[in-house]
Amino acid sequence: MSIKTDVLVVGSGAAGLTAALNLAETHKVAVIAKGALGDTASARAQGGIAAVLEEGDSFEAHVEDTMIAGAGLNDRQVVEHVVSQAPRAIARLIELGVPFASENGALHLTREGGHSHRRIVHVADATGWAISQALEAAAAKHPNITLVPDMVAIDLITGRHAQEFSTSGAVHGLYAWSRKKKRVEALTARATILATGGAGRTYLYSTAPRGATGDGIAMAWRAGCRVSNMEFMQFHPTCLYNLEVKNFLITEAVRGEGGQLKLPPGVKGAGTRFMPRFDKRAELAPRDIVARAIDHEIKRLGLDYVHLDISHREPEFVKAHFPNIRDKLLGLGIDITREPIPVVPAQHYTCGGVVVDLDGCTDAPGLYAAGEVTQSGLHGANRLASNSLLECVVFGEAAAQHIAASWDALPVVPSIRAWDESRVTDSDEEVVIAQTWGEIRRMMWNYVGIVRTTKRLERAKRRIDMLRQEVTDYYRNFRVTPDLIELRNLVEVADLIIRSALSRHESRGLHYTLDYPEKLAEARDTVLVP
């Protein structure tokens, strides 16, 4: 055994580190990350974290805004709980040293789409980075926390991996690939917390980090846990279109400051705005409407991208308002003060995931989950901006508290078998992995994207069944590598998304299908049972 610990946390984002810090006073905790500790969606969050702090605002208003965004599919009890915990969560982050912006001695609050009040606490436009820095610094100096980067979790350890085989569904840790030691190790613990983030990389374009391949969702599913609402994928309308850089977000503020969406050269109507045809608010329509309109134009005209143009504004204004975007794009040969930006919508947030209760408990004893990997009931069919970091902090703490309170009842770790690689060989066809990876992401983009049809979903299902078989054979016969581990999860999660989308016969929130454009009278979660 390389690591034997009390609690194993998989993920070094906001959810994982919050859980670790809440347990460390009483328990030994190991936090693993598949790459560098800071390579998380948490560190990329720009806008901020929502909490009721303004005079005149109320918990009820935050609850209502969340329920409206979630198209009635949210669990009201969960929403009320999370919203009521938000001010305390902010206070704890401040205690940890997060330098939230303030004005005249009070926290500075911004307002984002869907919020009826100013309630977004932020650190300029790099809130996630500041929160991650503070959490990581506190975790690094805690004697009871061991931070282990470059450790890629493969599968959860259950009774069937014990020396004495059992059919118990309890989880006792996991097998992981150590990038440093280049071998698989068994990491055991009384409690395991999945905080592995979302599954954005199932799609060709995504703002999520490279490692967002839905590993936690796939691992929990294979271990017998229910997975819910996977059809609700949030797409951001404007991500840079570039063959190399596939995840650079162009903030909505560009449209807010007058940026116009136009058809690119080479088609009828090139250089004209198209948003006024879709919504009277044009470029300022809500995210999902803009994303759908761009998708429509791209598919209708067979385009690779559309243009987002802010070059009609004064160069000094553009430079002052969007210094980071300008610098980044200049490096790629695009001067946004003089020319338009090629953009596509991109996957941005995974609303569905592993089913958890208010304590972060999954269906498997000893297994907890927190953050974007979960379907907690908070987001429903669409996430309200800045509620996700909040969910990470609230559920990270809840899981920690439940583990501490029920320690004696948690499953005892049996003697575990070492990983057996005696029947496999090294692959001589690494190209298969790269090819299949690309195929899945492009297929999901084209067939299971923003606007869906049953025909396209069925086509996707046939293809994913075939790819799944190929990946399973490959996994059985060849030694694991980080890319193969991710590919196996990617194909699993893609299948869960397609099955969920096929089973929803309505359009609600982020799931929009031309075959069922109306909303059904009753709002129901899609729950897949292994």
CB of 391 to ligand FAD, least distance (A): 8
User: Of the candidates 211, 259, 264, 411, which one interacts with ligand FAD according to CB under 6 A?
Assistant: 211
Q: How far is the CB of 457 from ligand FAD (least distance, A)?
A: 25
Which residue, among 379, 509, 436, 457, has the nearest Cα to 50 in the 3D structure? 379
Residue 25's CB is within 10 A of a number of other CB atoms, namely 10
Which of the 8 DSSP states describes residue 269?
T
What residues form DSSP beta bridges with 178? 151, 183
- What residues between 151 and 190 interact with ligand FAD by CB under 6 A? 151-153
81 binds ligand FAD (CB under 6 A): no
* 142: its two tokens: 């805690």
Nearest distance from residue 274's CB to ligand FAD, in Å? 25
Q: Which is nearer to ligand FAD, 85 or 513 (CB)?
A: 85
Query: How many amino acids of this chain bind ligand FAD (CB under 6 A)?
Result: 43
The single residue among 7, 19, 45, 199 that binds ligand FAD, judged by CB under 6 A, is 45
Look at residues 21, 114, 22, 9 and name the one whose alpha carbon lies nearest to residue 401. 22
Candidate list 5, 40, 192, 500; residue touching ligand FAD; CB under 6 A: 40
d(CA 388, CA 12): 15
User: Of the listed pieces 146-154, 252-260, 451-459, 496-504, which binds ligand FAD according to CB under 6 A?
Assistant: 146-154
**Residue 394 is a binding residue for ligand FAD (CB under 6 A):** no
User: Between vectors from CA 519 to CA 518 and to CA 521, what angle results, nearest 5°?
Assistant: 130
Closest separation in Å from C-beta 519 to ligand FAD: 26
Question: Given the rule CB under 6 A, which of 55-63, 326-334, 356-364, 366-374 is the region that contacts ligand FAD?
Answer: 366-374
Q: How far apart are CA 174 and CA 194, in angstroms?
A: 11
| Residue from the set 21, 208, 294, 393 that interacts with ligand FAD by CB under 6 A | 208
Task: Candidates 33-41, 67-75, 89-97, 300-308: pick the segment binding ligand FAD (CB under 6 A).
Answer: 33-41
List of residues 6+ apart from 266 with CB closer than 8 A: none
**Residue whose pair of structure tokens reads 């953050």 in the numeric block:** 371
Q: What character string, x for contact with ligand FAD (CB under 6 A) and - otherwise, covers 11-30?
A: xxxxxx--------------
287 as an active site residue: the answer is: yes
Q: Which of 228, 388, 500, 513 binds ligand FAD (CB under 6 A)?
A: 388
Q: Which of 78, 79, 368, 365 is nearest to 196 (CA)?
A: 368
Q: Which amino acid is at 285?
A: A
As a three-state string, the secondary structure of 341-402 is: EEEEEEEEEECCEEECCCCCECCCCCEEECHHHEECCCCCCCCCCCCHHHHHHHHHHHHHHH
Binding part of the chain for ligand FAD, among 61-69, 70-78, 204-212, 460-468 by CB under 6 A, reads 204-212
User: With CB under 6 A as the contact rule, which of the stretches 98-106, 160-168, 382-390, 438-446 interacts with ligand FAD?
Assistant: 382-390
Could you say whether residue 48 binds ligand FAD (CB under 6 A)?
Answer: yes
Residue 195 vs 457, nearer CB to ligand FAD: 195
Distance CA 7, CA 26 (A): 11
Q: Which is nearer to ligand FAD, 189 or 263 (CB)?
A: 189
Nearer to ligand FAD, 89 or 443 (CB): 89
Q: Is 207 in the site for ligand FAD (CB under 6 A)?
A: yes
What is the spatial distance between Cα 173 and Cα 416, in angstroms, rounded to a whole number? Answer: 10
Closest by Cα among 268, 348, 259 to 307:
259
274: its two tokens: 């198209």
Shortest distance (Å) from residue 399 CB to ligand FAD: 12
In angstroms, what is the minimal distance from the CB of 273 to ligand FAD?
26
**Binding of residue 47 to ligand FAD (CB under 6 A):** yes
Query: Is residue 345 within the footprint of ligand FAD (CB under 6 A)?
Result: no
DSSP 8-class letter at 38 = T
Report the residue number, 138 or 502, with the smaller CB distance to ligand FAD: 138
Q: Which of 3, 21, 41, 398 binds ligand FAD (CB under 6 A)?
A: 41
Q: What's phi and psi for 341, nearest 5 deg? A: -105, 130
Q: Which two tokens stand for residue 478?
A: 């060849």
What is the contact mask toward ligand FAD in residues 469 to 508, using x (rule: CB under 6 A)?
A: ----------------------------------------
**CA 209 from centre of chain:** 9
**Alpha-carbon Rg for the chain in angstroms:** 23
Alpha-carbon distance 10 to 114, whole Å?
A: 32
β-pair type (183-194, 367-369): parallel
* 283 in contact with ligand FAD (CB under 6 A): no
Alpha-carbon distance of 45 to 439, in angstroms, equals: 28
Q: Which residue is nearest to ligand FAD (CB)?
A: 13
User: What CA–CA distance (Å, rounded) separates 345 from 449?
Assistant: 10
Please say which residue, 121 or 502, places its beta carbon nearer to ligand FAD.
121
Closest distance of CB 263 from ligand FAD, Å: 26
Alpha-carbon dihedral sign for residues 362, 368, 372, 376: positive
Contact with ligand FAD (CB under 6 A) among 114, 237, 371, 449: 371
201, 287, 441, 504: the catalytic one is 287
What does the DSSP assignment read for 59-87?
A: HHHHHHHHHHHTTT-S-HHHHHHHHHHHH
Q: Which is nearer to ligand FAD, 274 or 445 (CB)?
A: 445
Angle between helices 454-477 and 482-503 (to 10 degrees): 150
How far is residue 27 from each of residues 31, 93, 135, 206, 393, measured CA to CA in Å? 13, 21, 18, 36, 19
Binding-site ranges for ligand FAD (CB under 6 A): 10-16, 32-35, 39-42, 44-49, 127-128, 151-153, 195-197, 207-208, 211, 215, 249, 349, 371-373, 386-389, 392
Residues labelled catalytic: 287
